[in-house]
Amino acid sequence: MIAIVSDIHANVDALQAALADMESKGVDEIYNLGDVIDYGPQPQECLDVAMERFKVNILGNHEEATLNIPIGFNPVARKTVEWTRNQLRPGPFSSGKTRLRWRFIQQLPRSYEMDDILLVHGSPRDPTMEYIMKSDTDDLLGEVPEKIVENLALIRRFAFCGHSHMPGVVTDEGVFYAPEEIDMAFPVEAATKLLVNVGSVGQPRDRDSRACYVTLDDKEVRYHRVEYDIQAAVEKVHATPGLEDFCGDRLLEGR
């Protein structure tokens, strides 16, 4: 059984709780779909976990923005990118660990394929920036929308993504199922192809404040929600100059 995580966003409290939950469930390998950094106050610690514990790491749009320019980001997000870049970018006298983290980000791939599984941050069509949302499955004529058709055409069987922080499964019939609509699990034999948004470990936005990740075995894709000390994470954000309080406050409501 493997676990797939995304959008940790420098929230080490949520990450450690999720890792403990995975260990209790006998997870063999962990795959990460990007956005380990930004919004939260502990990018270094989360990157260290990614480098040491995850089998595969994918480039997220926040890693891309930290390396380059934050295009299409709102003012709060741009500010966190700038703060994160200042924490991570090596200077003339930086330690070897700092340089190692920066090289790690620079070398992240935009996608990763293994057997019939594609891992991306955004979508198969645009691995870094395109969202896959429930609204993308809506069609007044009852047909599978073109966006979904084009993304499904690019995968062999499964595509796992993050980016929107909104967990859910999109079937080859163009139907979106939120985790609570499928009792937290979707049988892998129930559809020829699946687009799976794994949700967010460190900043859920589906009004459920618990950390979210998925596991995959030969029977099902299963969602897991994990309690963690949210108040401690909020207080760390509030205590960090350069981060907006909103980045912490939103954790309390999962928004």
Q: How confident is the model at residue 128 (pLDDT cuts 50, 70, 90)?
A: very high
Considering all CA atoms of the chain, what is the largest pairwise distance in Å, rounded to the nearest integer? 61
What pLDDT is stored for residue 117 in this prediction?
97
Q: Topology of 2-253 in CATH?
A: Purple Acid Phosphatase; chain A, domain 2 (3.60.21)
What pLDDT is stored for residue 152 in this prediction?
96
User: pLDDT digits over 158-206, tens only?
Assistant: 999 999 999 999 999 999 999 999 999 999 998 899 999 999 999 999 9
Note the residue count of the chain.
255
**86 CB contacts (<8 Å, ≥6 apart)?**
242
Count of helices and strands (H, E) across the chain? 8, 12
Indicate the pTM of the whole model.
0.95
Q: Is the pLDDT of residue 70 over 90?
A: no
Exposed, middle or buried: residue 134 (CB in 10 Å: 0-12, 13-18, 19+)?
Answer: middle
What pLDDT is stored for residue 138 in this prediction?
87
Q: What angle do CA 87, 232, 108 make, to 5 degrees?
A: 40
Specify whether the CB–CB gap between 30 and 55 falls below 8 A.
yes
CA torsion, points 120, 123, 129, 130, in degrees to nearest 10?
-170
What pLDDT is stored for residue 116 in this prediction?
94
Among the listed residues 43, 59, 142, the one whose alpha carbon sits nearest the alpha carbon of residue 105: 59
Region 49-65: what's the mean pLDDT? 97
Report the DSSP pairing between strands 158-161 and 111-114.
Answer: unpaired
